[in-house]
Amino acid sequence: MEPMERLGVGIGWRPEIADAIGDPAALPGLDWVEVVAENIHPDRLPEALLRLRERGTTVVPHGVALGLGGAERPDPARLRALAERAEALDAPLVSEHIAFVRAGGPGTGVAGMEAGHLLPVPRTGDALDVLCENVRIAQDALPVPLAVENIAALVNWPDEDMTEGAFLAELVERTGVRLLIDVANLHTNHVNRGEDPATALAELPLEALAYVHVAGGVERDGVWHDSHAHPVTRPVLDVLAELCARTTPPGVLLERDEDFPHPAELAAELDTIRATLRETAHHA
């Protein structure tokens, strides 16, 4: 596997915080951004994103609608759209999720439905075979490497054969895909499914790590909601520290999607992430 591109510490680009992201006084030391692929058009990129590109800031398109973990082969039009965005942004890689986002339709006995969100794939041999083939189809259609992300789950599939770490390790071995590890999602699966992040991290092929997501959420009635609308909490930073003790992530990205705080608060969260990286630096 080729060495990963070093990305550094970044933040999810959203129109609501575009001004702060474009202002080095507001969010100093920002190395890169990620943009939701479905929210931009390659011919009409937002001015603020173009200015970031002109300054040499790396922009990585992050897809949310492919549904690589779905039963269908990925839609060629969606793959083409993702490839066009990677090219328009001159991105070193693109990322998507290990999830299904739609189901039903011919042969299933129910009409086609969209989830409007990322839903977990059962960790079974069937789902892994399908996911591996879907990932390879996507890799063939994309001009740059693909990284896939572990999602936050509220529901458990019955009769799963594999742990999350083992499932991801097998996926990487069979496809060579890179991993985007969301430490907030590992925390979510700890609270909601009783899966220990340390176990997952120990099983993960960290040499495939492309970058890491960090995000805030909230616990309600014993269930963790990965809201991206709350501050990043200590347990999530602890999972980041645990990961950093095992490897040096090529990139770390803070995600905030709603209830945007004052930029100073985001800057402080980015500083906390940098401090976590420094303090728990992995020494090979």
Partner 1 sequence: MPDAPHPAEPARIPGAASAPEDPGTPDTAGTPHPAPTPDAPHATDAARERLARAQAGLLAALVAGAPVPAGFDGERLAVQSRALLAKRAGVVAKVAPELPRLLGTARYHEEFLAYATDRPMTAGYRHDALAFAAHVLDHADLSPRVRHALGTWHADRAAPVPPTRWQRLLRSLPPRTVRRIG
Contact positions vs partner 1 (CB under 8 A): 1, 70-73, 75-76, 100, 102-117, 119, 122, 125-127, 129-130, 132-133, 136-137, 139-140, 154-159, 172-176, 192, 223, 225, 258
Nearest distance in Å: CB 142, partner 1: 12
Residue among 27, 42, 33 at smallest CA distance from 7:
33
Nearest distance in Å: CB 56, partner 1: 31
For partner 1, the closer of residues 24 and 157 by Cβ is 157
For partner 1, the closer of residues 45 and 64 by Cβ is 64
Residues 6+ apart with CB under 8 A from 221: none
Residue among 81, 85, 91 at smallest CA distance from 42:
85
Nearest distance in Å: CB 230, partner 1: 14
Encoded tokens for 207: 């040499």
Nearest distance in Å: CB 253, partner 1: 21
Q: Residue 5 has what DSSP assignment?
A: P
Nearest distance in Å: CB 118, partner 1: 10
Which whole-number Å values give the CA distances from 189 to 134, 144, 151, 164, in the listed order? 24, 30, 9, 10
Maximum Cα interatomic distance, the chain, rounded to a whole number of Å:
56
For partner 1, the closer of residues 32 and 100 by Cβ is 100
For partner 1, the closer of residues 58 and 192 by Cβ is 192
Encoded tokens for 178: 């890179």
Nearest distance in Å: CB 177, partner 1: 8
Are 259 and 16 in contact by the 8 Å Cβ rule? The answer is no
For partner 1, the closer of residues 182 and 270 by Cβ is 182
For partner 1, the closer of residues 23 and 259 by Cβ is 259
How many CA atoms lie less than 13 Å away from 274 in the CB half-sphere?
15
